[in-house]
Chains A and B, each alone.
Chain A
Amino acid sequence: MNRGSLRALLRLLAVQGAWSYERMTGIGMGYAAEPLLEDLQASDPARHAAAAVRSAGFFNSHPYLAGIALGALVRAEYDQVPANQLERLRAALPSPLGALGDQLFWVGLVPSVMSLIMLGLAAGVGWWVLPAGLLGFNLFRIATGVWGLHTGLRSGAQVGAAIGDSWLPRWTPRFGRMALLLVGAALPVVAAVELGGATTVARWTAGASGLAVLGLSWRLETRFSPLRLSVLALMMAIVLVGVWP
């Protein structure tokens, strides 16, 4: 990784730092693009000036996947892609990056990690499970950022095909299902421990509700959020455990 890419990656950590309704993450994207556009300034000052203006324009995507768009748009500037096509690319990229990012991180990975931490705490693993969970999540997030920036820089205007052929669209739904399972398992354990309840019952309900959520998710995942599904499954599980001989 060259110095410009590293600086861009660090700057992407603050991509939402000047979030506004007018440009959303545009200012953060412009700030992150600056080190990547330095070579263009030397080779083609006129194009660089136009690219600098464009890079800070209206943009929005999932912050953890913004590197894909940043790399693709910068590469397209170096490739002399016409301005109108660049604008179309800039308008279209937020769709997959927002939707995939929301599904992968907000719907999938974040609930999974938080549920794992709660389950670890409830199981008496120790408080270190919290920093360990955070570390694991952030390593994945940074690795995704590095991969995303490289994918974008490599593919430029063909970034759509590069995303489509990558692990991202294939793995994103799996993270969602993992979240359903883990949230479903964590909810009854949390309830039982918070109330100082019986751990045997907690284990039964955790297993039953987790499996029920996973089963229900195949049919209902577009209709209910994971937590609502989990509450539904928890009630079913409590009934099951209650009538179990």
Chain B
Amino acid sequence: MTATWLTLGMLLIWGTVVGVDLVSFPQALLSRPLVASAGAGFLLGDPVSGFSVGVVLELFALDVLPVGAARYPDYGPAAVGAVVLAGGGPWMVTLGLATLYALLVAGLGGWSLQVLRRANGRALQRSAAGLAAGQSDTVSALLARGIAGDVLRSFTLTGIALALALQARQIVVPVAGAAACRRASGCRTPNRSRW
């Protein structure tokens, strides 16, 4: 699997879309790790990697209740990065590493959501006079600002997830591939799951 600049750009846009979907708009389940991973897999021309990573991450996400003001992981951009990390390497090694990687990035995503919520709160305080007067322009501007903030958050998170995944691939894939070759007494097609 090779990622061109065009593919990376599309992955960046996809990661941003799924990140915004989690809370802000339109909450259509695009942010579920299975969906985010599958989309990334298709963009990379490697849907098997997308489904394999997505299914494992989905099992983690099923145990998360995004209730109220609680902090919860953002699996969407994390899953996009994890598919990039997992693709192309010996399956049984890269799947575990990609899962671990996604959990860490998803935790970072959860933290970034809290930062965004606090920023929205500060914007509210600055707009207190307009809100007290019932100005619809103030409400619209706050909503637009909140969504724009989430776009920026998701874009940044996906960028970090992709950059680190590409760096990690330089190290992980050759080392893991060599180890897999030694165990198998010769290199063949990487052992893949059945998705």
Contact = CB atoms under 8 A, between A and B. Distances in A.
Interface of A: 13-14, 16-24, 27-28, 30-31, 34, 48-53, 56, 60, 63-64, 98, 102, 106-107, 110-111, 113-115, 117-118, 121-122, 127, 130, 134, 137-138, 141, 183, 187, 190, 193-196, 225-228
Interface in B1-48: 23-30, 32, 34-35, 38, 47
Given A34-B139, A111-B62, A117-B34, A18 B146 contact: yes
B69 A50 contact: no
A121 B143 contact: no
Given A20-B123, A138-B28, 7 more contacts: A18-B147, A20-B118, A49-B134, A127-B51, A137-B28, A194-B52, A194-B193
B194 interface: yes
A53 B131 CA distance: 6
Nearest to B95: A194
B156 interface: no
Nearest to B56: A194
B74 to A, nearest CB: 13
* Most central of A14, A53, A64 by chain B CB within 10 Å: A14
Nearest to A23: B124
Contacts of A194: 52, 55-56, 95, 193, 195
Given A53-B131, A106-B66, A227-B59, A18 B145 contact: yes
Nearest to B32: A114
A98 B68 contact: yes
Given A19-B120, A106-B65, A196 B194 contact: yes
A4 B161 CA distance: 41
Contacts of B28: 134, 137-138, 141
Main secondary structure of the interface of B (DSSP, over half): helix
30 contacts: A14-B25, A16-B24, A17-B150, A19-B23, A20-B123, A20-B124, A21-B121, A27-B120, A27-B142, A30-B139, A31-B139, A34-B140, A48-B134, A52-B134, A53-B133, A56-B134, A98-B68, A107-B65, A110-B32, A111-B62, A121-B55, A121-B195, A134-B29, A134-B35, A137-B28, A183-B62, A187-B59, A193-B195, A194-B195, A196-B191
Given A53-B132, A106-B65, A130-B38, A20 B25 contact: no
Interface size class of B (residues with CB under 8 A): 35 or more
Given A16-B24, A20-B117, A193-B195, A27 B55 contact: no
Nearest to A16: B23
B27 A21 contact: no
B58 A138 contact: no
Contacts of B146: 17-20, 27
A52 B20 CA distance: 27
A190 B59 CA distance: 9
A137 B150 CA distance: 24
B63 A64 contact: no
Nearest to B51: A121
